[in-house]
């Protein structure tokens, strides 16, 4: 998936918000999709967040809707949460290829990924408090799950961006490469994921994400439950059989 508003730094306007929400829902329901890569149209910015001239005035009710996209968003502001994956779980691995700056809502979309590749020299930040707002697409609530409290507080409260190199050092990114190599690097990671059993990858992702809200006993119980469910799948038979037969496995997601 590519955010296609390079002339506006890939900012999320009503049309892009609606399109994203619908596309995520389609991908989540499509069992033939095993892994997704999200990037931005080539330019300096992966995503600069929500469009301050179009979406934000709709959100604050300071602008009246003028077209079909505006009306859809104005009638259901929660669509922004689905577009940025705050209120919608894709249910399968997402690799974010941040090929430029990721600011505000763009940073929150970066955080929604399971693996993250950043462009060398790019800036990552949450600037909302400088505008009288807070990151409301998961950034405020979830940043502390990705970073130590002091690091999270620094990003949230100063509204100052950090470099992708610093984000790598903090453990927020998996890779930092030149901008021209970001998508290829993300696709390489995606291919590695897609080479594994899709149901197992989804189950492992689910335990990893859901464990943050569980006690150790609850997390282990979830792990045991999903492991037992996987043991009853055809892929769980195929994987060990292929290993013994010294051939590549042929996973089918069933």
* Sign of CA pseudo-dihedral 228, 229, 234, 238: negative
User: Which residues of the chain form beta strands (DSSP E)?
Assistant: 2-3, 36-40, 45-47, 94-98, 101-103, 115-119, 123-125, 162-163, 175-177
Instruction: Pick the closest to residue 42 from 186, 182, 173 (CA basis).
Output: 182
Q: Over pLDDT 70: what percentage of the chain?
A: 100
d(C-alpha 8, C-alpha 43), whole Å: 10
Model confidence pLDDT, tens digit, residues 11-25: 999 999 999 999 999
The pLDDT, as a whole number, for residue 156 is 95
Question: Buried (b) or exposed (e) across 70-104, using 16+ Cβ within 10 A?
Answer: bebbbeeeebbbbbbbbebebebbbbbbbbbbbbb
Report residue 197's pLDDT band, with 50, 70 and 90 as the boundaries. very high
Q: Which of 11-15, 172-176, 211-215 has the lowest mean pLDDT?
A: 211-215
The pLDDT, as a whole number, for residue 213 is 86
Is there a catalytic annotation at residue 128? yes
Report residue 43's pLDDT band, with 50, 70 and 90 as the boundaries. confident
Model confidence pLDDT, tens digit, residues 120-156: 999 999 999 998 999 999 999 999 999 999 999 999 9
The pLDDT, as a whole number, for residue 56 is 85
**Residue 235: pLDDT above 90?**
yes
d(C-alpha 97, C-alpha 126), whole Å: 18
From the list 15, 25, 64, 108, the catalytic residue is 108
Model confidence pLDDT, tens digit, residues 51-94: 989 988 888 888 899 999 999 999 999 999 999 999 999 999 99
For each of the domains in the chain, give its residue range(s) and CATH number, in order of start: 2-194 (3.90.226.10), 198-244 (1.10.12)
From the list 128, 181, 229, 245, the catalytic residue is 128
Q: What is the pTM of this model?
A: 0.94
The pLDDT, as a whole number, for residue 141 is 92
DSSP symbols for 104-162: THHHHHHHT-SEEEEETT-EEE--GGGGT---TTTHHHHHHHHS-HHHHHHHHHH---E
With both helix axes pointing from N to C terminus, report the angle between 14-29 and 68-75 in degrees, rounded to the nearest 10. 70
Write the CA distances from 246 to 195, 198, 233, 238, 239, integer angstroms. Answer: 16, 20, 21, 12, 11
Tokens found for residue 226:
């999903």
């Amino acid at each position: 998936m590519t955010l296609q508003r390079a002339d506006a730094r890939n900012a999320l306007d009503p049309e892009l918000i609606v399109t994203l929400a619908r596309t995520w829902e389609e991908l989540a329901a499509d069992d033939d999709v095993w892994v997704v890569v999200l990037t931005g149209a080539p330019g300096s910015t992966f995503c600069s967040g929500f469009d301050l001239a179009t979406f934000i005035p709709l959100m604050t009710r300071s602008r009246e809707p003028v077209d079909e996209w505006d009306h859809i968003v104005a009638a259901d502001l929660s669509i922004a949460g689905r577009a940025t994956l705050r209120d919608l779980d894709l249910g399968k691995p997402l690799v974010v290829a941040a090929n430029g700056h990721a600011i505000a809502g763009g940073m929150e979309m970066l955080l929604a990924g399971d693996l993250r590749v950043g462009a060398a020299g790019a800036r990552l930040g949450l600037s909302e408090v400088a505008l009288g707002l807070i990151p409301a697409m998961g950034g405020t609530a979830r940043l502390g799950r990705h970073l130590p409290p002091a690091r999270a507080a620094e990003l949230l409260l100063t509204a100052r961006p950090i470099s992708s190199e610093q984000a790598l050092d903090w453990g927020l990114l998996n890779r930092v490469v030149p901008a021209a190599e970001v998508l290829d690097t993300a696709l390489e990671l995606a291919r590695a994921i897609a080479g594994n059993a899709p149901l197992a990858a989804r189950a492992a992702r689910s335990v990893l994400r859901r464990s943050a809200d569980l006690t150790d006993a609850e997390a282990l119980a979830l792990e045991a439950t999903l492991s037992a469910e996987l043991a009853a799948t055809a892929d769980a038979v195929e994987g060990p059989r292929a290993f013994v037969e010294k051939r590549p496995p042929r996973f089918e997601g069933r």
